[in-house]
Amino acid sequence: MMTLQFKVRLRAIVGSTFVVASLILLRFFQLSDVSLVWIVLMGGGVLMFVIGSRWVLEGVSPFAGYRSMWPVFSAAMAIAWLIHAAQIETYAADSWLGEFFGSITVSVTVGLLHLSNMPVTVAGDVLSFGSPSLVGAVQVTPLCGGFLSVLMFIAAFSFVTVDVGRSLGLRRLMLLLLGGIAVTVIAAVLRVYVVTLVGFYYGWNALDLAHAYLGYVLFISVASLFWYISLGWSKRLTT
C-alpha cells in the first residue's frame, strides 16, 4: 500500500505535469486562430491547471505558504484563455494604453542594453543590433513586452479582493493594486531584456524559446512572491 506521503508526492509530480502541459497548450492556443476546437480544449486546459496547481501547492513543502492561492492562479489562467478567445489582447495592445506600455518597454530595454554595452539602435519599436549579435533586429510590441501579463494580474487581483479586500479598506487595496501592477510591469520589461540578450548571444532559436516560455515563468514567480507578501501583510493588519 502507498503511504500518505508517497501519495502526496505523486500528486505533486502529476500536478507539475498538468501545469506544464496546460501552459504549453495555452501557448499553442495564443499562436493559433480561435476555433471551436480550441474553445473546447480551453476547458480541458484550465481544468488541468486548476488540478495541477492545487496538487503542487499542497504537495511541495516549500510552497506551503501559497496553498490558499491556487484559486488566484486558476483565475489568471482562465482569464488568459478568455482574453485570447475574445481577442481582447489585440484590441488592448492597439489602444493608447498598449502603445504607451510598448513605448515604455522599448525605452527601458534600450537603456538596459546600453548599460550592458550592447550595440543597439532604435527605430520605432524595432531594435537593431550590430556585430557580434547573432540576430539583426527584434520588434518589441506591447504583447511581447508582457502586456498580457499585466491584464492577467489585474484580472486575478479582482478575485483576491473578494476575500481580503473587504477587511483592508480602499486605500490599502489600491496600494496593493498599484504595487502589483508595478512589479508585474518591471518583470515584463526585464523579460524583454533577457530575451534580447538570449538572442544576441545564442541566436533566433534560443530567442524564440525564451520568448515563448520565459513570460510564464516570470509571471508565476512574481505573482507568487507578490501575493505571498501581500496576503501576509493583510493578515497582520486585520489581526
96 and 73 housed in the same domain:
no
Ramachandran region, residue 124 (left: φ > 0; alpha: ψ -120 to 50; beta: rest): left
Based on the fold, state whether residues 137 and 29 are members of the same structural domain: no
Q: Considering its fold, how many domains does the chain have in total? A: 2
What whole-number distance in Å separates Cα of residue 147 and Cα of residue 144?
7
Q: Are residues 114 and 189 in the same domain?
A: yes
pLDDT 10s digits, 8-17: 788 888 988 9
Q: What percent of the chain has pLDDT over 90?
A: 2
Per-residue pLDDT band for 142 (boundaries 50, 70, 90) equals confident
Contact 157, 176 (CB under 8 A): yes
C-alpha cell at 2: 502507498
The reported pLDDT for the residue numbered 233 is 64
Which of 86, 101, 125 is a domain's end point? 86
User: Grid coordinates in use for 163?
Assistant: 476575500
Q: Is the pLDDT of residue 238 over 60?
A: no
Contact 135, 52 (CB under 8 A): no
In the block, residue with C-alpha cell 506551503: 64
Respond yes or no on whether the N-terminal peptide bond of residue 132 is cis (omega within 30° of 0): yes
Same domain, 233 and 132: yes
Per-residue pLDDT at 232:
65
Residues 126 and 223 grouped into a single domain? yes
Model confidence at 2: pLDDT above 60: no
3-state DSSP call for residue 136?
coil
Task: Tell me which DSSP letter residue 163 carries.
Answer: I
Task: Kindly state whether residues 12 and 28 are assigned to the same domain.
Answer: yes
Question: Residue range 147-165: average pLDDT?
Answer: 67
Say whether both 82 and 139 belong to one domain.
no
Same domain, 99 and 202: yes
Q: Where does a domain end: 86, 104, 128?
A: 86
Say whether 122 sits in a helix, a strand or coil: strand
Q: Which residues of 196-222 are buried (b: 16+ CB within 10 A; e: fewer)?
A: bbbbbeeeeebbeebbbebbbebbbeb
Residue with cell 505523486: 10
Per residue in 83-127, pLDDT tens? 778 877 777 777 777 788 888 888 888 899 888 888 888 888 888
* DSSP state letters, 213-231: HHHHHHHHHHHHHHHHHHH
Q: How confident is the model at residue 188 (pLDDT cuts 50, 70, 90)?
A: confident
| DSSP classification of residue 118 | -
Which residue, 156, 157, 148, 150, is CA-closest to 212?
Answer: 148
Q: Which three cell numbers stand for residue 17?
A: 505535469
CA pair distance 77, 85, nearest whole angstrom: 12
Q: Are residues 93 and 183 in the same domain?
A: yes
Same structural domain for residues 30 and 109? Answer: no
Judgement on whether residues 118 and 75 belong to the same structural domain of the protein: no
Task: Spell out the residues 6+ positions from residue 161 whose beta carbon is closer than 8 angstroms to its own.
Answer: 173
Q: What pLDDT was estimated at residue 167?
A: 62
Query: Do 230 and 140 fall within a single domain?
Result: yes
Last residue in a domain, options 45, 70, 86: 86
More confident residue, 133 or 68: 133
Question: Which domain covers residue 227, as residue numbers?
Answer: 88-239
Report strand pairing: 137-139 vs 126-129: antiparallel
